[in-house]
Structure 1
Amino acid sequence: MKKALKNTIAALVLAAPLMANAAGGGHYEHVKLDPRDQVSLQRGAQIFVNNCLSCHSAAAMRYNRLKDIGLTEEEIAKNLMFTTDKIGDVMQAHMSPADGKKWFGNTPPDLTLIARSRGADYIYAYLRGFYKDPKTPTGWNNTVLPNAAMPHVLWEQEGVKAAKLDKDGNIVLKADGTPDWTWESTGKLSRQTKEGVVITKEYDDYAKDLTNFMAYMAEPAQVQRKQIGYIVLMFLLAIMLPLAYFLKKEYWKDVH
């Protein structure tokens, strides 16, 4: 029995790095999300529909679930749906998978569960990791997913940056471990100071809102699940724990 337990623990320890990689892995900057922030989720939903849904589907997410983030059916139909869509439809890509494979070399993946499979930190880093690369078919590359088939669809918001490369073709990193970017132009959500420093806080918040929505989309019942968990714990502590204590005293009263 002890040997079997040791083997099980050893297997779990060895599998831990693999599970970490499957869940997004890598050492990415941590993004702190708030699934209760409905303003952030609503903004993220708008960004997702306007920019991601052109190529990617969210086939397990229905439009009417957006009511959970504070939107009415009228607001959803007016701002987030095409006139041919119905409120109970799932979010389907506007581009066919065949066209996606023809134009980008790969079929754009469904994004419903991407936050569960890759992790929110991965998505946030990916959205901020695009840089100009004339050697790729799309003219873009990504620090998180090298040679990604996807172009930088949010370049108008972030701006255009290029990476400094060493003699071996590797990206030059600054002392803090981030790439040493060369900015060709700023975007609608970035600005350059008089000292030449590019501030991207607005775009970072933009990417954070999109990441927040994708994390919500992967588990729409997350907030309710946690609330139920708190109620169950309170029930166990307030009712079951005293009952267990008095039951224990009753069973052991003749022993002492």
Structure 2
Amino acid sequence: MKQFLKTTLLVAATLWSVASFAADPTVPLDEAKVDLHNKASLQRGAQLFMNYCLGCHSMEYQRYNRTFEDLGIPEEIGMENLQFTGEKVGDLITNAMPAESAGNWFGTAAPDLTLVSRVRGADWIYTYLRSFYVDESRPFGVNNAVFPNVGMPHVLEELQGIPRKTYEEQMVDGEMTERYVGIKTDGSGMLSPSEYDQAMLDLTNFLVYTGEPMLLEQRRMGWYVFGFLFVFTLFAWFLKREFFKDVK
């Protein structure tokens, strides 16, 4: 009985921690219209991840050769343009940042992102990547509307430009007040706002793929399973009628 209670409490604590980690933010999430059939989007997302995210975040449950094969990237091109750590094509996607150093620099080691889409969800990732804004009180000068007091810098600032919270004045009860209307950039980025949104959708698409690389294959196999069950049910029904046709 004691062992059962201990196991129950452990499971409950685990579920509570997972639910807390994946809890809905107070900021409304934008819909991420991911498309795992879009190989061009997945390739662009992989390029963004390798160039901007891999310096801190690893992907220790995903291999280079598996990624290249699934995304339709020739192995030679992938190793030349998407592999910067000197690993072999069959190695897991890791980074060179020691966890201890990351803890000293950022307060905690950067999490592995292989399964982040399964924990957070595509909408959360997509909104988070587009919700950084200038906050001089933070160590890196930026904050995030979806993840308040985030510990990471805005590594995609050169693409987006400098994002700031914007307000507009409006009359409320006879008094002029400022109303928050969103985050806008100063236009200094390499991409326009629409291009940046598409780039973040591509990156989100790639992270959804790494969270479950077999998802499309599972869906394809699922239709065959449904077809088999449908045909089997028909045969079973006709067989039952034949067996029991003389039973009254």
Does TM-score exceed 0.5, indicating one fold?
A: yes
- Does residue 78 of the first structure (1) align with residue 80 of the second (2)? yes
Query: Is the 8 Å Cα contact of residues 42 and 69 (structure 1) preserved in structure 2?
Result: yes
Matched, 1:204 2:197: yes
| TM norm structure 2 | 0.82
Tell me the residue number matched to 1:242: 234
TM-score if structure 1 supplies the norm length? 0.80
Alpha-carbon spacing, 1:221–1:165, altered in 2? closer, same or farther (3 Å): same
Secondary structure of 1:186's aligned partner: coil
Q: How far apart in 2 are the matches of 1:68 and 1:189? A: 28
1:54 paired with 2:55, answer yes
CA displacement, residues 32-64 of structure 1 (integer Å, 9 cap, x when unaligned): 111111111111111000000000111111101
1:58 and 1:83 mapped to 2: Cα distance? Answer: 13
1:194 — aligned with what? none
What is the match of residue 36 of structure 1?
37
- Is the aligned partner of 1:230 residue 2:223? yes
> How many Å separate the matches in 2 of 1:23 and 1:250?
53
How high is the sequence identity, in percent, across the aligned residues?
Answer: 43
Residue pairs, 1:1-256, within 5 angstroms? 23=22, 25-26=24-25, 27-66=28-67, 67-82=69-84, 84-164=86-166, 172-174=179-181, 179=182, 181-190=183-192, 200-237=193-230, 239-256=231-248
CA gap 1:138/1:124 in 2 versus in 1, 3 angstroms? same
Distance 1:18 1:234, change over 3 A: farther
| Corresponding position of 2:9 | none
Tell me the C-alpha RMSD between the 2 structures: 2.4
Please tell me whether the aligned partners of residues 55 and 95 of structure 1 are also in contact (alpha carbons under 8 angstroms). yes
Contact 1:160 1:184 (C-alpha < 8 Å) held by counterparts: yes
* 3-state DSSP of counterpart to 1:173: strand
Evaluate the alpha carbon distance shift between residue 17 and residue 252 of structure 1 in structure 2; reply closer, same or farther with a 3 A threshold: farther
Q: In structure 2, do the counterparts of structure 1 residues 106 and 161 end up closer, same or farther at CA, with 3 Å as the change threshold?
A: same
The amino acid across from 2:159 in the alignment is Q
Q: Distance in 1 between matches of 2:167 and 2:107?
A: 26
- Structure 2 distance, partners of 1:36, 1:141, is 33
Residues paired across the two proteins, number = 222
Consecutive unaligned residues of structure 1, counting only runs of 5 or more, are 1-15, 191-199
Q: 1:23 to 1:251 in 2, by over 3 A?
A: farther
Shift of 1:82: 2.6
Give the Cα separation in 2 of the matches to 1:100 and 1:55. 8
Quote how far apart the aligned CAs of 1:99 are.
Answer: 1.6
Superposition deviation, residue 69 in structure 1: 1.0
Q: Give the Cα separation in 2 of the matches to 1:223 and 1:205.
A: 22
Contact 1:55–1:108 (CA under 8 A) maintained in structure 2:
yes
Given residue 249 of structure 1, which amino acid in structure 2 is its aligned partner? R
Letter in 1 for 2:212: E
- The structure-2 alpha-carbon separation of the partners of 1:24 and 1:49, relative to structure 1 and needing over 3 Å to count, comes to farther
CA contact (8 A) 2:162 2:187 kept: yes
Offset of residue 17 of structure 1: 11
Which SS does the other structure have where 2:163 is aligned?
strand
Provide the C-alpha distance between the structure 2 equivalents of 1:215 and 1:118, rounded to a whole number of angstroms. 10
Deviations 1:69-108 (A, max 9, x none): 1012111111111362100111112322112111111110
1:153-198 superposed Cα distances (whole Å, 9 cap, x missing partner): 10111111211479xxxx9433xxxx2x3543431111xxxxxxxx
**Cα pair distance change 1:20/1:201, threshold 3 Å:** farther
Q: Output the amino acid matched with 1:213.
A: F
